[in-house]
Structure 1
């Protein structure tokens, strides 16, 4: 069974999508439509902008979404048996399996980016990658700290990203290093994604998601919040709303996709991060990537 996976924030690169725009009439049409929907020329920033230009929140999330979704739409043999996406990538996955149409997916991603930006401005917060410790030890240390600090991304065995207040993350990094973490590295992100500090964004996005039409998908999506295959549109909506303040269970998602019969994983969109994480979950897993126009 063919599994397709879609990357999240951090995978962007200058020039992303330009080859698609220049070589595929369908891609050009969709990119032009995206500029109209967003009310600014995101293609100018994607194709000609610097890495710093691409880091703007209002740009990053729609840019990665567009690159992934438009790539998928230009593939001749795109027939997924199951899909999943890492954080933001879940929106790409939901367009890929037909749950959301292109326009609605892009609008929700844009609203999500703005809502997250606002939540980040309310309270300074951050995230850190913890490498080389068991999940249970990281969870235990986070729970013992008298600040907001939680497990946010279960990326692969031995790699867990934590999220919370700046004081909470600093304290956690210090304690986890003492516990033997190989690395406790603060990440260059705008805020504490997938933590209770995103509650204002979750509330704002909930209204937008509930007002959007979710269709019956062509295949199940394995969702971040529970790592389970879901095909019911209402359940998909609820899980998508919960995603902003809940951890991304990527390790468990890959394990469950393999248990569900996945024989190959294809990452669609910028970068190769997910292929690497999948290999760390199961060295035998067959992985491939599509990050440029294939014709």
Structure 2
């Protein structure tokens, strides 16, 4: 079975989507529609913007979403039997699987980015990647540091031996010291706007909930394995609830890939900028076939 996977924040690069825009009239139409919906020419930033411009949450999230969704729309080979998206990528996956319209998906992504940015400004915070430790050890240390009054949680279960933690600057610093002492190969601070997938995103979750509840969702053409539980869903109301919880809950990517393989996935096709997810899939299961979606 073919599984299509959609990247999240961090996959952006200057020039992303330009080849699509120039090669396909349908792609050009969708990109221009996006410029109108967003109220600014995001294509100008995607095609020729600086790294700094692309790193702004309000740009990054819609840009990655657009690249992924437009690619899926114009690729003749796109016939998903199951889909999953990493964090933001879950919205791309839902549009590609026809659970959400292009316009509604883009509006939700733009609102999500805005609400997350606002939450980051209200609670300055950060994330760090922990390499070379068992998940249980990272979870235990995060719990101990949190009990001291700082916020730090396991946020992204990316692959075996790579877990991203999220929280207050002090919480990340304290946890980092203890994780290194426990044998972590590295604890790498991430260049992100704040503590995504942590309790510090609660204000964004509450605002996004209203937007999601008022948006029409359809039954997708195939199951979507959602971040919060790593399990497959097709029922619109459950998909909505999981999307809302996703902002403060961890991304269970390792478990999602393992479950997709258990349910029959034999090849994973990354749909969007970069090849980050293909690398993670190979680390989770080296037998899995990986590739990029071509248009």
Normalising by structure 2, report the TM-score.
0.98
Partner of 1:78: 78
Aligned equivalents of 1:17 and 1:79: distance in 2?
21
Counterparts of 1:178-193 in structure 2, within 5 Å, are: 178-193=181-196
Partner of 1:215: 218
Residues 228-252 of structure 1: CA distance to partner in whole angstroms, max 9, x if unpaired?
Answer: 0000000000000000000000000
Offset of residue 56 of structure 1: 1.2
Deviates more, 1:247-256 or 1:72-81: 72-81
Partner of 1:91: 91
Aligned equivalents of 1:163 and 1:262: distance in 2?
30
Aligned equivalents of 1:123 and 1:277: distance in 2?
30
Residues 18-73 of structure 1: CA distance to partner in whole angstroms, max 9, x if unpaired?
Answer: 11111101000000000000000001111111111111111100000000000000
Unpaired runs of 5+ residues, structure 2, are none
Counterparts of 1:51-130 in structure 2, within 5 Å, are: 51-130=51-130
Residues 105-130 of structure 1: CA distance to partner in whole angstroms, max 9, x if unpaired?
Answer: 00000000000000000011000000
Partner of 1:231: 234
Partner of 1:263: 266
Counterparts of 1:128-277 in structure 2, within 5 Å, are: 128-145=128-145, 146=148, 147-277=150-280
Aligned equivalents of 1:77 and 1:275: distance in 2?
18
Unpaired runs of 5+ residues, structure 1, are none
Counterparts of 1:27-66 in structure 2, within 5 Å, are: 27-66=27-66
Aligned equivalents of 1:250 and 1:29: distance in 2?
33
Aligned equivalents of 1:208 and 1:95: distance in 2?
16
Q: How many residues align?
A: 292
Offset of residue 136 of structure 1: 0.3
Normalising by structure 1, report the TM-score.
0.98
Aligned equivalents of 1:151 and 1:191: distance in 2?
14
**CA root-mean-square deviation:** 0.6
Residues 80-137 of structure 1: CA distance to partner in whole angstroms, max 9, x if unpaired?
Answer: 0000000000000000111001000000000000000000000110000000000000
Offset of residue 274 of structure 1: 0.3
Aligned equivalents of 1:202 and 1:26: distance in 2?
34
